[in-house]
Structure 1
Amino acid sequence: MAESESGAEKSEDPTEKRIRESREKGQIARSRELNTLAVMLAGTGGLLVTGGQLGTALMGIMRDNFSFAREALWTEGSMGLHLLGAGYNALQALAPLALYLLIAAIVGPISLGGWLFSAEALQPKASRMNPAAGLKRMFSTKSLVELLKAVAKFVLVLLVGFSVLSSFQDDLLAMAHEPLERAIVHSAQVAGWSALWMSCGLVLIAAVDVPFQLWDNQQKMLMTKQEVRDENKDSEGKPEVKQRIRQLQREMSERRMMDSIPQADVVITNPTHFAVALKYDPSTGNAPVLLAKGGDFLALKIREIAQKHEVMILESPGLARAVYFSTELDREIPAGLYLAVAQVLAYVYQLRQFQAGKGKRPDPMPDPPIPPDLRRDE
């Protein structure tokens, strides 16, 4: 089981955040053996496919450069043109093989770990120059595996090379008696098949290296229980910070609520435990809106602000509780309370008319009707 630098056991699977951060740092599973195998197979396969054309092209280049007219020696610039022509022909002959190698060089790395470009991985790090860290890497499990892979590759390629040369012994001896053109094409074919069989010997090394790289990368990303807890705190927010944010949000909401109380038409109380402030705008035709509500100490503050700004305060315990529990701030009251609130607003209007000397004193307000589904007991 892997251990962290502090000695804690890494027993937890990596989180999505750890995996994402590792990719950003360029820390993903990569197999150099798989990349080498892909390039070797592409190169040897391309050599087999284009070997004949490549040999013919090289033969043509040699013929053109060793047999030219005598007049060309005395013509200024002819040698330069000769060189450009030979270079163009060589590039044209090597282009298909170079294309195969380019594709393999791209496909090999992305076949394990996917496409990734990390600028952070390119940045110089002082830790890479630390002698102690270098010695630790030299004697690590990964270094031992790399050494075993190198020895295995040497032995495999050596054995396959001897086998291939033995199988092509007759072809190699026959080339000495073939015409030059035939010998060049034949040698390219033999070289291609020999390189292909030696490349196939690397399949075994890659088959061992790929699972090891996946396992090694997984071990590096394992996390301790404490790291998982710390990451959860960072992603979800520390409890004390979240509590402080909620407290500030409540305070801001209460300030906005208290600032809206002077605009209310009436404050209905319990009379001590609950208080709700309602506003009705007849020009809009909408239902009354709850501007503020509170219980206990907050209810007392609502009443104090209402008295300071001469907002009408009425006692209706049942209606105050019903509005408090059924309506959110800045929302219209439910349809079931339309009749009860309408009676309260009508009573407030009559009482204001009386206070202004424009009407008689209204009779005491009866208890507003509260539907059973909206009624809340003490």
Structure 2
Amino acid sequence: MADEGDSSDKTEDPTQKRLDEAHDRGDVAKSQEVNTWFMIAGATLVLSSFSGSIGGIQMPLRNLIANAWMVRVDGPGLLALGQRLEYMLLAALGVPFLMLVIAALAGNMLQHRLVWSGESLKPSFSKISPAAGFKRVFGKQAAANFGKGLFKLLALGAVMAAILWPERLRLESMLQFGPETMLSVISSLTMRLLGSVVAMLAVVAIADYFFQYRQWYERQKMSLQEMKEEFKQSEGDPHIKGRIRQLRHARMKKRMMTAVPKASVIITNPTHYAVALSYERGMAAPICVAKGVDLIALKIREIAKAHDIPIVENVPLARALHASVEIDDEIPVEHYHAVAEVIGYVMGLRRGFSGQRA
């Protein structure tokens, strides 16, 4: 009952991370019917394409048996005979065997990526659990397997009847044929049967693959809690991320306040915004060393007053600079003229103060 409750909570589509983890465990969507179809289709192709080359070993073997008295029976002679037979078999069966291997691999690779996992070899209580065994016997998978088996049995019987029934008279008279004629008729009927079986199994394989994929996809679904946990693992805990942002903000604020005494001018609006700019001769453009709103702006002004940094009230310029320039960056080109006027004004004040002191 607990399992049913847990599965009913898994209503969310799986993430790519969840699907990748399932693949790494060896849990993939796989239909055995697809593998069976590829093997039978490959065997049919081999028989139709290479039956002549396979039969090509008849003559060498016939000659070998007819001239067996000439075969040397000493060690080197038997070794040479074994090598000849090996080469003949490889020439006749090598390519067909390779095609069957390719068909077997293609049946798996078409369904999923290559899997390298020993997870299925680990002992699991679910494999010997009576409840799991009951579910395997009476579950959806068992019902699907029973349906597939019944359909294949009926379809195969119908195919054989449709092909062999019209040939019943010729099959009855085959006892009067010679071996070569009988072999030709049997080969023709066999290829027709295999072709029909391949076509019938293609329908079964396609339907079974979509069924197996749907079953696998349903197993990978996630609950809302699992989605949250995965998000925390991949993106980080929101509380931790918030704390990190606070620490970064505190460090940036401390660094800004340390840089305010080095500023050339503070531009304010005058209460809510404050932007501290630093400029020396030879620089391409003034640099923003600190900025802030409300309490931070008030702190910037207090430090500026304590270090005799000029404070200039310019509402639109203060707002524009606060929105467009980052700490330690040069001011944008569009503000060069307005800032140049402020810097010139500040330098003029400084020259005036210097003249009065002199």
Alignment of 1:77-116 (within 5 A): 77-111=76-110, 113=111, 115-116=112-113
Alignment check: 8 A CA contact 1:279 1:291 kept: yes
Which of 221-230 and 34-43 deviates more? 221-230
CA separation of 1:200 and 1:176: change in aligned 2, threshold 3 A: farther
- With normalisation by structure 2, the TM-score equals 0.78
Aligned equivalents of 1:101 and 1:349: distance in 2?
92
- 1:142 corresponds in structure 2 to 141
Alignment check: 8 A CA contact 1:61 1:90 kept: no
1:250 lines up with 2:249 in the alignment? yes
Instruction: Please report the RMSD computed on the Cα atoms of aligned residues, expressed in angstroms.
Output: 3.6
Alignment of 1:149-298 (within 5 A): 149-157=148-156, 160-161=159-160, 167=167, 170=170, 174=174, 177-178=177-178, 188-189=187-188, 191-232=190-231, 234-268=233-267, 273-284=272-283, 286-298=284-296
Deviation at 1:275, TM superposition (A): 3.7
Aligned equivalents of 1:349 and 1:282: distance in 2?
15
1:322 lines up with 2:317 in the alignment? yes
CA separation of 1:225 and 1:98: change in aligned 2, threshold 3 A: same
Alignment check: 8 A CA contact 1:46 1:100 kept: yes
SS for the counterpart of 1:6 is helix
CA separation of 1:208 and 1:275: change in aligned 2, threshold 3 A: closer
Deviation at 1:116, TM superposition (A): 0.1
Could you tell me which amino acid in structure 2 is paired with residue 49 of structure 1? Answer: S
**Number of corresponding residues:** 347
Could you tell me which amino acid in structure 1 is paired with residue 347 of structure 2? Answer: A
Aligned equivalents of 1:75 and 1:266: distance in 2?
108
Alignment check: 8 A CA contact 1:266 1:348 kept: no
- 1:375 corresponds in structure 2 to none
Deviation at 1:98, TM superposition (A): 1.9
Aligned equivalents of 1:278 and 1:288: distance in 2?
6
Alignment check: 8 A CA contact 2:263 2:276 kept: yes
Aligned equivalents of 1:218 and 1:188: distance in 2?
43
Aligned equivalents of 2:138 and 2:249: distance in 1?
59
Q: Deviations along 1:89-140, whole A, 9 cap, x unmatched?
A: 12211133223323322333344x3x50232465633337641144433432
SS for the counterpart of 1:278 is strand
Alignment check: 8 A CA contact 1:276 1:290 kept: yes
Could you tell me which amino acid in structure 2 is paired with residue 283 of structure 1? Answer: G
Deviation at 1:33, TM superposition (A): 0.9
- 1:119 corresponds in structure 2 to 116
- With normalisation by structure 1, the TM-score equals 0.75
Deviation at 1:276, TM superposition (A): 3.2
CA separation of 1:128 and 1:182: change in aligned 2, threshold 3 A: farther
CA separation of 1:127 and 1:138: change in aligned 2, threshold 3 A: farther
Deviation at 1:279, TM superposition (A): 1.2
Deviation at 1:40, TM superposition (A): 0.4
Deviation at 1:259, TM superposition (A): 2.7
Aligned equivalents of 1:7 and 1:41: distance in 2?
39
Alignment check: 8 A CA contact 1:290 1:331 kept: yes
Aligned equivalents of 2:289 and 2:339: distance in 1?
16
Deviation at 1:74, TM superposition (A): 4.5
Structure 2, unpaired ranges of 5+: none
